[in-house]
Amino acid sequence: SPRYDQEVSCEIARLIGNAPGAQNVVMSGTATRDFSSFPTYILAAGKMVSVGVRKTPTWSKLTTCPVFRKDGSIFAQGAGLSRDPGTGFSVPYLDLPDEEEKVLRQLDRKASTTELAKVLSPELAEILGRAVVPGRRFPTDPVSTAGDLYRLMFLKDADSGDQKQLDRLAVRAFAHKFKDTLTYRCTLRGHSDPRTGLVWAVDTMVRIKDEVCEVDEPMWIASRKFSFRDGQGAVTELECWRPGSFTIDTNEDEAT
């Protein structure tokens, strides 16, 4: 699984107005931002499962009852029977313990991408904050402000046997759409970072600071290609994604 929690190892910078030098390794770079299919809210539904629910009884069980003689005296008294001056004799009741019954419940997972964006990317949070409807909307809700975008992504997976499996489905679906919000491609001089000497490698975190493409955030190297070009020497081509754009398992740190 990708190691998104690792420290940033290198920096790829391209500054406007900065004189070309040995430290500026970016030969060319492009940033693609595609929001054409990015959802504002995700709703994943699984199959109906049987779960145990604790239910408190709404009634009690009579455990003892007095028998009165004609003169009003008690013929038999159960344990705990007491006299109440206002109402005569009170009959004790024993509350039944909570019962557990099986009910059918549909597995589901709900997530607002605007809330996720606040954690994942400041740039994405700013874009979504200006353009989309936050949270879930229903057909009975009033009409939203003109220009606000609401795009519900609904997933149905009858094969998910428990909540963890359905959660993984929702995470993978979100990651696929999240990847398209920013893809950064660049061509670099050399096969290693001149500042640290580290060889460019996949599954590593780098800091992208490209003022031409307006990218300034940590990104994950998804692909790398080494080559040699006539008149240019060693060249590296990288494709970088936002952390979380590719997910195999939601439990990366758990031992298997």
Residue 30's pLDDT is what? 96
Query: What pTM was estimated for this model as a whole?
Result: 0.70
Residue 93's pLDDT is what? 46
Which residues face 22 on adjacent strands? none
Return the percent helix, strand and coil in the chain, to nearest 5.
Answer: 15, 40, 45
Name the E strands within the chain.
10-14, 26-32, 41-55, 61-62, 67-68, 74-76, 82-84, 88-90, 93-94, 99-112, 152-156, 183-189, 205-210, 215-229, 233-241
Taken as a whole, the chain contains a residue count of 256
| Burial grade of 220 (CB within 10 A; 0-12, 13-18, 19 or more) | buried
> What tens-digit pLDDT sequence spans the chain (256 residues)?
888 889 999 999 998 876 555 467 899 999 999 988 889 888 888 776 655 556 554 444 444 444 455 565 554 444 444 444 444 444 444 455 555 655 566 667 787 887 888 788 888 888 888 888 888 888 888 876 656 888 888 888 877 777 888 888 888 888 888 999 999 999 999 999 988 999 999 999 999 999 999 999 999 999 999 999 888 899 999 999 999 898 876 454 444 3
Residue 129's pLDDT is what? 83
Task: Please state, in angstroms and rounded to a whole number, the distance separating the CA atoms of residues 64 and 93.
Answer: 8
Only one residue has tokens 């590296």, namely 236
Give residue-wise pLDDT tens across range 72-91: 555 444 444 444 444 444 44
Residue 146's pLDDT is what? 57
User: In the 8-state DSSP scheme, what is residue 216?
Assistant: E
